[in-house]
Amino acid sequence: MPRIPLIIDTDPGVDDAVALVLAMQSPEADVRAVTVPFGNVEIEKTFLNARRVLALAGRTDVPVAAGAARSLVHLQDEWAPEWHGADGLGMRSADFPAPVAADPRSAVALMADVLAEATEPVTIATIGPLTNVALLLAVHPELAPRISRIVAMAGSLGAGNTRGRAEFNVSADPEAAHRVLTQPDVPVTLVPLDLTMRCLAGATWLDALAASGPRCATLAGVLELYRAAFRERYGVDAVALHDALAVLEAILPGTLRTTSMPIRVACDLGPARGATIPDGRPDAVGPAVHVALDADTDAVLTEILDRVRRLG
């Protein structure tokens, strides 16, 4: 079976944790590196959490490096402790084994090394703020041809999930998102809230995960605070596994059905800051982004569960 060389840039984050385990339990995924920005929680915690999740998955072979601790231009003004817990793992970080070792390189340096050493183009799945990937493209434009595509969980054509109009990953660093989504060098597949919020994992899914073994029980426990937040905010006993959808698409290209359109990001300081706006003008300029707006959501959820539960 063809294996996909993959870098995952992630801000764990409870749905990030599921996405990381999904990748680690998928034989098609040749995970060359995990890199971490700030995001759901501070970089010190996202970095620790990524290494904790890899330890849970028994993956000491994958280097993990920390990157951006801040957004590029304006400071992030909204965090997500009510969704991910102050520790970033649903207040269950104590249930995890000791974290795997930290790679001493910066995220950009690690990504650059992986790209430079790869004998075939590498997919980058970015499931947090896009700061590290924007920096990579800025510092190493010569490596763009070595990136086969960027699959980004980010954005929303409709309502956002922050205080303003924006989806969280974009709101955390709109300038970085704009940089990545409007550059012509690397194809981008965008996985927005428009799809991820239509693909909710319900009680049966969550119970099946919890019953799949002790490590799956730990992972399911991480989702409990997030599940309660969904009940509170949306009135549903279910959770959106935003990041897992993006990683599944990165591993199984074509799983999500896309529509191509140029995307702009509002980078002003007004109420729409961080909005991702499709440019539908006939004379729209800039590269088209492949926006995932449709999928067989039942099949997607089944695929994610079947793979994640291999963790045992």
Among all residues, which ones are annotated catalytic?
242
Rounded to a whole number of angstroms, the minimum distance from the CB of residue 225 to ligand RIB is 13
Q: Which is nearer to ligand RIB, 11 or 87 (CB)?
A: 11
* Distance from C-alpha of 132 to C-alpha of 38, rounded to nearest angstrom: 9
* Distance from C-alpha of 52 to C-alpha of 64, rounded to nearest angstrom: 11
∠175-170-250 over CA atoms, to 5°?
110
Using the rule CB under 6 A, give the single segment among 20-28, 103-111, 167-175, 280-288 that binds ligand RIB. Answer: 167-175
Rounded to a whole number of angstroms, the minimum distance from the CB of residue 247 to Ca ion is 10
∠117-118-119 over CA atoms, to 5°?
120
* Interacting positions 277-296 with Ca ion (CB under 5 A): none
**Six-digit token pair at 198?**
């239509």
Burial of 160 (0-12, 13-18, 19+ CB in 10 A): buried
Query: Which element (helix H / strand E) includes 292?
Result: strand 289-294
Q: Are 53 and 96 in contact (CB under 8 A)?
A: yes
Based on the shown chain and the rule CB under 5 A, indicate whether residue 127 belongs to the binding site for Ca ion. yes
* Distance from C-alpha of 277 to C-alpha of 172, rounded to nearest angstrom: 16
* Interacting positions 220-259 with ligand RIB (CB under 6 A): 242-243
Pick the binder of Ca ion from 90, 128, 129, 274 (CB under 5 A).
Answer: 128
63: β partners? none
* Distance from C-alpha of 152 to C-alpha of 289, rounded to nearest angstrom: 10
Q: Which residue is nearest to ligand RIB (CB)?
A: 168
Using the rule CB under 5 A, give the single segment among 100-108, 120-128, 176-184, 214-222 that binds Ca ion. Answer: 120-128
Rounded to a whole number of angstroms, the minimum distance from the CB of residue 178 to ligand RIB is 17
Helices (H), ranges, 174-223: 174-181, 193-196, 203-210, 214-222
Please provide residue 191's backbone torsions phi and psi, each rounded to the nearest 5 degrees. Answer: -115, 95
Q: Which is nearer to ligand RIB, 54 or 153 (CB)?
A: 153
Rounded to a whole number of angstroms, the minimum distance from the CB of residue 227 to ligand RIB is 14
* Distance from C-alpha of 285 to C-alpha of 225, rounded to nearest angstrom: 43
Based on the shown chain and the rule CB under 6 A, indicate whether residue 178 belongs to the binding site for ligand RIB. no
Based on the shown chain and the rule CB under 5 A, indicate whether residue 192 belongs to the binding site for Ca ion. no
Pick the binder of Ca ion from 16, 173, 194, 249 (CB under 5 A).
Answer: 16
- CB atoms inside a 10 Å sphere around CB 62: 20
Q: Which is nearer to Ca ion, 99 or 128 (CB)?
A: 128
Using the rule CB under 5 A, give the single segment among 195-203, 217-225, 239-247, 285-293 that binds Ca ion. Answer: 239-247
* Interacting positions 102-141 with ligand RIB (CB under 6 A): 127-128
Based on the shown chain and the rule CB under 5 A, indicate whether residue 43 belongs to the binding site for Ca ion. no
Q: Which is nearer to Ca ion, 13 or 174 (CB)?
A: 13
Using the rule CB under 6 A, give the single segment among 13-21, 53-61, 254-262, 268-276 that binds ligand RIB. Answer: 13-21
Query: Which element (helix H / strand E) includes 4?
Result: strand 4-9
Q: How far apart are the first and last CA of the chain?
A: 23
Q: Site residues (CB under 5 A) for Ca ion?
A: 11, 13, 16, 127-128, 243
Q: Site residues (CB under 6 A) for ligand RIB?
A: 11, 13, 15-16, 39-40, 127-128, 153, 161, 167-169, 242-243
